[in-house]
Structure 1
Amino acid sequence: MPRSVPVVRTVLLALALTACSGGSHGSPGGSGVGDPYFPKAGNGGYDVGHYDLRLAYDPTGGGRLSGTATLTARATRDLSAFDLDLDGLDVQDVTVEGRRARFQRAGQELTVRPHDRLDDGETFRVTVRYSGTPETITDPDGSQEGWLHTADGALALGEPTGSMAWFPCNDHPSDKASYDIAVTVPKDLQAVANGELTGRTTTGGRTTFTWHTPEPMASYLATVAVGHFDISRFTIGKDRLPAYVAVGPSQAKASRKVLARLPEIIEWEEYNFGPYPFSSTGVIVADAKDVGYALETQNRPVFPAAPDTLTLVHELAHQWYGDSVTPKSWRDMWLNEGFATYAEWLWDEDHGGATAQQTFDALYDHGQGDYPDLWAFPPARPSNAAHISDDPVYQRGAMVLHKIRRTVGDDAFSTIIQGWAATHRHANADTADFTAYVEKSAPDKDFAPIWKQWLYGKGKPAHR
């Protein structure tokens, strides 16, 4: 009997040490997912399945945004705490599964400590109430994103890390989710977002627009456009794909001719890339020339002014390559931009312009005239975060695809790019996944020189 006392003490001491270490109570999820270019982006320990965003915005009086964000997520390990990305804005309160949770802020990290531990595999809901004047974020390459103020409203753009400026999220492309976005604005304005319009109600001088995106979407592809818009709704093709087009009045005349080609472009891209991957399509043409770039926001790309035909082709091609098949990390941007750029080459080839081979040859021979940094780095290895959207990612990325086409022939190439889009539909993939897919699709061909010289090789390849 006396010998049992030390045994009890040992057991109690072990349990105390386990509790102190967090072993029986979970551990923090951790900030960042280890992206090679944006290490703070995203968060560990959970996977978001759905975002429900309830926003209210008034462009007057300083442009204040108030919001309630409810995230439905699944813990991927036992969690004592987890992080959300939120840059700026003031947090009023946070609940997890309906119970108040402690939270703290540090830079873009909103750390939430739930009342009870979350078990590995457990589905939970976290609700964040927040408000303030949303910020504009400057990228490493100098471009601006986040919440951008326009003449009569605002435009929310997220690539690569701007979405955390207007809602708390797991802000990394590797975590995709469905969305409901409700935006309340003064009744003389409109609010356009991703997906399908499911509701519009006006009360007390304010109108709420509710949008639903059923398919998985990366946070950087979420958008909201607030302002005055000329809006048209129609269907495309035999499957009657719904299209929703919103154009700022100042851009209506300049956009009319090119936007009339939207059905033609969608049908051409379906022929080349396979069935359209989402339940609706469309375009947002804002009056925001200072933005300086278009973005492939899911379902309806955003243009800061009237686009030309090739830009429209490019951003719509992203619905397959980038939006449906989304990169696992920002290192894999060429899988977005190389494909969308090659879509431009194919469009030209099919519509009386230069063939893809002629475009390739001109780039190889004289490309540095238009793109001085064309050979600065390989498309699959941008030198740092400031260069993930530089010309090698776009132009050399397209050249890689053309080299594959020349190696396998037109029919096999068509099968490869359609099969790639179908195999990874609504999922994530990286460069290694792509090269493995190509090699499996044409096992009798040697792709090693393409990968070595064109995809990963430094400088201009010695032979075209």
Structure 2
Amino acid sequence: MPRFVPLVPAVAALSLSLCLGLGACGGGGVQGTPGGAGVRDPYFPKAGNGGYDVTHYGLELAYEPDRRRLTGTAVLTVRATQDLSAFDLDLKGLDVAAVEVGGRQARWNRAGQELTVRPEGELREGGSFRVTVRYGGTPETVTDPDGSREGWLPTADGALALGQPVGSMAWFPGNHHPSDKAPYDITVTVPRGLTAVSNGELVRERRGKDRTTFVWHTGEPMASYLATLAIGRYEVSRTTAREGLPVYTAVDPAEARASRAVLARLPEAVAWAEDTFGPYPFASAGAIVEPDTDVGYALETQNRPVFPGAPDLPLLVHELAHQWYGDSVTPRTWRDMWLNEGFATYAEWLWAEEHGGDSAQRTFEELYAHGEDTYPDLWAFPPARPDGAAQISGDPVYQRGAMVLHKLRQRLGDDAFRTLLRGWAGAHRHGTADTAGFTAYVEKQAPREDFSDIWREWLYGDGKPGRP
């Protein structure tokens, strides 16, 4: 487990002046330009921001469920990747009270999801500085292009925060694109009797007369869409998996009985996944189980996937596989989602094959022959080119993505394919990757093989390939 790095208190951040990176501290002379508003993602062009990289998020939050009011102080440690005269943060809704850069008051303005910050003096390329944003209000629930709900979801006894693809900007300011990952420290204060669950490890719990504060630490880099916060009444279990890996589960009491048997197999599933994909990439594992009335889908939030009601075993395996493919190896753009979902879907096929179910070959054949019966859009677009933002979680991304991997297994053979699964996860551990990088990696691992037909027909090709 990583050593806990204390969250810098908001008061300390006020007085901390990090002149490294602030041209005004060292004599000026820097002719900065504004950082880009958005990183030109092919499906979410406004997501993320140019000109800087976040190296740490420190969030201090308090939530009042009765009023649905969130109060926060976000302290971002940032490295400039160009000389900056201004930069943007993504923040949807909520009211900003103050912004500081390096301990100095900064000018700012709002336009849609963009919070534009103009510091006192330019910021030098390569320099590090801290940005402090004080904010509050009623967080918004965001509707995705595909109609699903994310962002801040009020529940009967609290709230649930989910971020894929862009919902995290509804509850904290940041660089909300998967290409920018960072460690997190999240401190959450809630009314006594409620629990606040987040990513990483619970390092401190302070009980007061009327309120309880929970401090969570995520030492490994995390994309903001994988950050979660669940507030409510939960049955909490603390166990361990292989080699003492901490396992923390939080289950809504209404789902506890139905969830007990499958969650008891979580350590077994972690051990199987380690044997299949390589060493577990994080310092803890676990799950959050909400009523299906609170959320309509499962999500691979880092360390601790969220489930809508008691999960079955295939879904548990799917979200667990995402800890390698999606959470540790994160898509560089939202076009690369099949590198998440195709791998996690194929993990289900492998689990079934090794635990008395259908072989992956039979699953592949049935999908090719009759897949449209279950997945009407199966051949609507290729997995590497979703048909717009509303389709990044479409059937081809999951099912055809898994079929691409099975075609590689057929070409490589079982042993080389298993080496490929582990090698890809290891080569990009805690980083980002894209489809071009994956195809190049495959070709480098097997230089004598020709994969052009697989890329042309299965990964990028329109319609149903002519032969299975």
- What TM-score do you get using the length of structure 2 for normalisation? 0.93
Instruction: Give the equivalent residue in structure 1 for 2:24.
Output: none
1:255 aligns with 2:259: yes
Structure 1 segments, 4+ long, off by >2 Å, are 22-25, 287-290
SS in 1 for 2:372: helix
Write out per-residue CA displacement over residues 364-394 of structure 1, whole angstroms, 9 at most, x where no aligned residue: 0000000000000000000100000000000
Instruction: Give the equivalent residue in structure 2 for 1:8.
Output: none
SS in 2 for 1:291: coil
8 A Cα contact 1:43 1:84, kept in partner: yes
What are the within-5 Å matches in structure 2 for residues 23-38 of structure 1? 24-38=30-44
Using the alignment, how far apart are the partners of 1:224 and 1:288 within structure 2?
A: 17
The correspondence for 2:55, drawn from 49, 60, 63, is 49
1:103 aligns with 2:108: yes
The correspondence for 2:307, drawn from 293, 303, 319, is 303
Using the alignment, how far apart are the partners of 2:265 and 2:408 within structure 1?
A: 29
1:368 aligns with 2:372: yes
Q: Which consecutive unaligned segments of at least 5 residues does structure 1 have?
A: 1-21
8 A Cα contact 1:150 1:288, kept in partner: no
8 A Cα contact 2:382 2:458, kept in partner: yes
SS in 1 for 2:404: helix
Write out per-residue CA displacement over residues 336-375 of structure 1, whole angstroms, 9 at most, x where no aligned residue: 0000000000011011111000000000000000000000
The correspondence for 1:315, drawn from 298, 310, 319, is 319
- What TM-score do you get using the length of structure 1 for normalisation? 0.94
Write out per-residue CA displacement over residues 265-324 of structure 1, whole angstroms, 9 at most, x where no aligned residue: 000000100000001000011224342100000001011211110000000000000000
Instruction: Give the equivalent residue in structure 1 for 2:196.
Output: 191
Write out per-residue CA displacement over residues 81-126 of structure 1, whole angstroms, 9 at most, x where no aligned residue: 0000000000000000000000000000000000121000000000
8 A Cα contact 2:30 2:122, kept in partner: no
Using the alignment, how far apart are the partners of 1:350 and 1:23 within structure 2?
A: 64
SS in 2 for 1:407: helix
The correspondence for 1:202, drawn from 202, 207, 213, is 207
The correspondence for 1:336, drawn from 330, 334, 340, is 340
CA RMSD of aligned residues (A): 1.0
Instruction: Give the equivalent residue in structure 1 for 2:270.
Output: 266
1:225 aligns with 2:258: no
The correspondence for 1:452, drawn from 440, 452, 456, is 456
Q: 1:23 to 1:462 in 2, by over 3 A?
A: farther
Provide the aligned length of Structure 1 versus Structure 2: 441
1:161 aligns with 2:178: no
Write out per-residue CA displacement over residues 41-87 of structure 1, whole angstroms, 9 at most, x where no aligned residue: 000000000000000001102x1000000000100000000000000
Using the alignment, how far apart are the partners of 1:416 and 1:190 within structure 2?
A: 41
Using the alignment, how far apart are the partners of 1:291 and 1:209 within structure 2?
A: 23
1:68 aligns with 2:84: no
Write out per-residue CA displacement over residues 386-409 of structure 1, whole angstroms, 9 at most, x where no aligned residue: 000000000000000000000000
Amino acid at match of 1:395: Q
Instruction: Give the equivalent residue in structure 2 for 1:423.
Output: 427
SS in 1 for 2:343: helix
Q: Which consecutive unaligned segments of at least 5 residues does structure 2 have?
A: 1-27
The correspondence for 2:241, drawn from 236, 242, 248, is 236
SS in 1 for 2:419: helix
8 A Cα contact 1:150 1:287, kept in partner: no
Using the alignment, how far apart are the partners of 2:293 and 2:355 within structure 1?
A: 29
Write out per-residue CA displacement over residues 228-260 of structure 1, whole angstroms, 9 at most, x where no aligned residue: 0100111111x2111101111000001001111
Instruction: Give the equivalent residue in structure 2 for 1:17.
Output: none
**Displacement of 1:451:** 0.1
Using the alignment, how far apart are the partners of 2:209 and 2:94 within structure 1?
A: 26
SS in 2 for 1:160: coil
Amino acid at match of 2:267: P
**Displacement of 1:203:** 2.3
Instruction: Give the equivalent residue in structure 2 for 1:350.
Output: 354
Q: Which has the larger radius of gyration?
A: 1
Using the alignment, how far apart are the partners of 1:204 and 1:39 within structure 2?
A: 46
